[in-house]
A and B are shown apart, each in its own frame.
Chain A
Amino acid sequence: MFDWRWDFTFEILPRLLLATVNTLMAAGAGYAIAVVLGLVLALAQRTPYRALTYAVRELVEFIRSTPLVLQIFFVFYVGPQFGIRLAPWTAGMIAIGLHYAAYLSEVYRGGLESVPKGQWEASLALNLSPARTYFRIIIPQALPPSLAGMGNYLVGIFKDTPMLSVIGVAELMHTANAIGSESYRFLEPYTLVGVIFLAISLPTAALIRVFEAWVRRQLGMS
C-alpha cells in the first residue's frame, strides 16, 4: 500500500487534536468578529448618508475582490511599517474577521431586503423608534433567510483558517507542516488534517439546518 504507518499516526494524533482546538478558536473568534462587523457594514449601507453608503460599499467590494491570504499578509507584514505591530493571532483574527464580515454583510443585506416594505410602514405607523424597528422588527425577520448563507460562511471560515498558518498561527495546518518537516512524513499528518476538517464540517452543516428550522419555529414563522 502507500506506506501508511499507524504507530506514527497515533503518535501525532494528540498534537493535531490540540491544534484543532486552536483552529476552532480561530474560526470561532474570526466568525464572531465577522457576524457583528458584517451587521455594522450592512446597516452602514442603509443610512441616509450617501457618502457613507458609497464608502462602505466600495470597502466591501474591495475586500471581496482580493485574496484572503493577501489580506492576512498585509495586516501582519505591512502594519509594522506604519507602527502597527500585531501578534500573529491578532492580525489573523482581524484579517479573517474583516474578510468574512464583507461576505456576511452581503448575506445580511439580502436578508434585510427580503423583509416586506409593509413591516417598515407598520413600525412607523406605531411610531416605533428606528433602533427598535431594526432590532425588534426587521432584523428578527431578516435572520431566518440569512441563516443558510451565514452557515455556509461559518463552514467557509473554518476551512480558511489554514491560511493563518502563513503568518505562524499554530492551527491545524501549521502543526501538520511542522510535523512534516520534523519527520519527513507528510502522508499521515495531511491525511489526518483532512479527516479532522471533514469530521467537523459535515456535522456542522447538518446542525446549521436544524438550527435554521428551530429559529423559524421560535419566531413563529414556520
Chain B
Amino acid sequence: MTKETLSDFPLELEGADVPMVRFSKVTKRYGDLTVLDSLDLDVAEGEMVTIIGPSGSGKTTVLRMLMTLETINEGVIYVDGKPLTHMPGNGGLVPADNRYLRKMRANIGMCFQHFNLFPHMTAIENCMEGPVHVLGLPKREARERSEELLEMVGMADKRDQHPSRLSGGQQQRVAIARALAMRPKVMLFDEVTSALDPEVIGEVTNVIRRLVAEHNLTMLMVTHQMGFAKDISDRVCFFFGGRIEEQGKPEDLFGNPQRERTQQFLSAVKEAS
C-alpha cells in the first residue's frame, strides 16, 4: 500500500451527502504501538454510532482524537465537511494551529468516564462556564439555557449543589447538560456509565435515549453496555487491533456477527454479564 500524502486529501468535502464526521486513513501511534491503523469511518448527520471492542482496540482514542485531545500521525479527520486536524494553507492542507483548532472544536462536545465536572463550581455554574466565557452569551441567557438543560437531564433541583454533593449518576447527567449547553453538532460519550454504580446507570442511559429520540445530534459513543448499544445505535462498530473488524446495524452485528473475532468478543461479554 502506498503511503498517502497530505495532497491526496481534499481541502473540503463536497457533494450531496457530506458526512458530519469523516476519519480518512487516520493512523495514531504511541511510540512503536499503533493504536489506530489507517482508520476510515464516516458518521452521517444525526446518526448514533456506537463503538465496542476489547480494551486497547483504540475505541476511546477515536473519540479523543475527534475532541482534539490527541493529535494524529497520519490521515485527516473532517467535521461537517471541513478538516479538523488540518487547515487549508500553502495551497493544500497543513497541520491545524491552535486558533483553527479552537474554532473547529466548537462543533464537538464530550462526556467523560469520570465526569470531570469542575468541583469548585455548582451544577449550574459548570453549565454556564462555557456559554458565558467561550460563546459570549449574556449571563441571563446562559442561565436560562443551562436551567432548561438541567431540567431535561432531571437535575434542575440540584442546580446549586457542588459536584461533591452529587452521586456519580447525577454528576454524569450534569456533565451531559454542560456539554450540550455549548450546542455542539457532534456529541461524544466516552464510557459514560463505566464509573457508575449499577443502580444509577439507568438514569444516565435514559438521558442519552431521550437525546437520541428527540434531537438530531450526531453522536459517537464508546460503551461496554451491549444492551444499551443495541437499543439506541443506528450503527455499531466493533474495533479490534486499531481497525474496524466489523460494523453494521445493531440487530445484525449483535444478532448475526460475521467475523470470528466479533463472535468471540460478544460471547465473552455475554458470559461475563
Contact = CB atoms under 8 A, between A and B. Distances in A.
Contacts of A132: 133-134
B67 A126 contact: no
Interface string A110-137: 0000001011011011111100100011
Contacts of B112: 118, 121-122, 125
B119 A118 contact: no
B29 interface: no
A124 B69 contact: yes
Contact of B134 (A128, A141, A219): A128
B119 A219 contact: yes
B92 to A, nearest CB: 25
A140 interface: yes
Given A121-B69, A220-B122, A220-B164, A127 B134 contact: yes
B120 interface: yes
B201 interface: no
A94 to B, nearest CB: 34
A128 B121 CA distance: 15
A217 to B, nearest CB: 10
Given A128-B129, A128-B133, A220-B162, A122 B122 contact: no
B237 interface: no
Contact of A141 (B114, B120, B133, B178): B120
Query: B interface, how many residues as a size bin?
Result: 20 to 34
Given A220-B164, A221-B164, A125 B179 contact: yes
B110 interface: yes
B119 A220 contact: yes
B110 A125 contact: yes
Contacts of A136: 129, 133
B164 A125 contact: no
B109 A125 contact: yes
A137 B67 contact: no
A31 B109 CA distance: 42
B129 to A, nearest CB: 7
B261 interface: no
Contacts of B133: 128-129, 132, 136
Interface string B120-132: 1110000001100
Contacts of B102: 127, 129
**Interface hub of B118, B162, B163 (most chain A Cβ within 10 A):** B118
Contacts of A129: 102, 133-134
Interface in A147-193: none
B205 interface: no
Interface in A52-84: none
B116 interface: yes
B117 interface: yes
B106 A220 contact: no
A135 B114 CA distance: 22
Interface string B98-114: 00001001101110101
Interface string B63-106: 00001110000000000000000000000000000000010011
A129 B130 CA distance: 10
Given A118-B112, A220-B164, A126 B134 contact: yes
Contacts of A121: 67, 69, 112, 116
B114 A128 contact: no
A137 B114 CA distance: 17
B182 interface: yes
Given A128-B130, A128-B133, A128-B134, A141 B119 contact: yes
A122 B117 contact: yes
Interface in B168-214: 178-179, 182
B105 A122 contact: no
B204 to A, nearest CB: 17
A127 B105 contact: yes
Contact of B116 (A119, A127, A128): A119
Nearest to A130: B98
Interface of B: 67-69, 102, 105-106, 108-110, 112, 114-122, 129-130, 133-134, 162-165, 178-179, 182
27 contacts: A116-B116, A118-B112, A118-B115, A118-B116, A119-B116, A121-B112, A121-B116, A122-B116, A122-B117, A122-B118, A124-B105, A125-B67, A125-B110, A125-B179, A126-B129, A126-B178, A127-B106, A128-B129, A128-B134, A136-B129, A219-B119, A220-B120, A220-B162, A220-B164, A220-B165, A221-B162, A221-B164
Q: Identify the 4 closest CB pairs spanning chains A and B, nearest first.
A: A220-B162, A122-B116, A118-B116, A219-B120
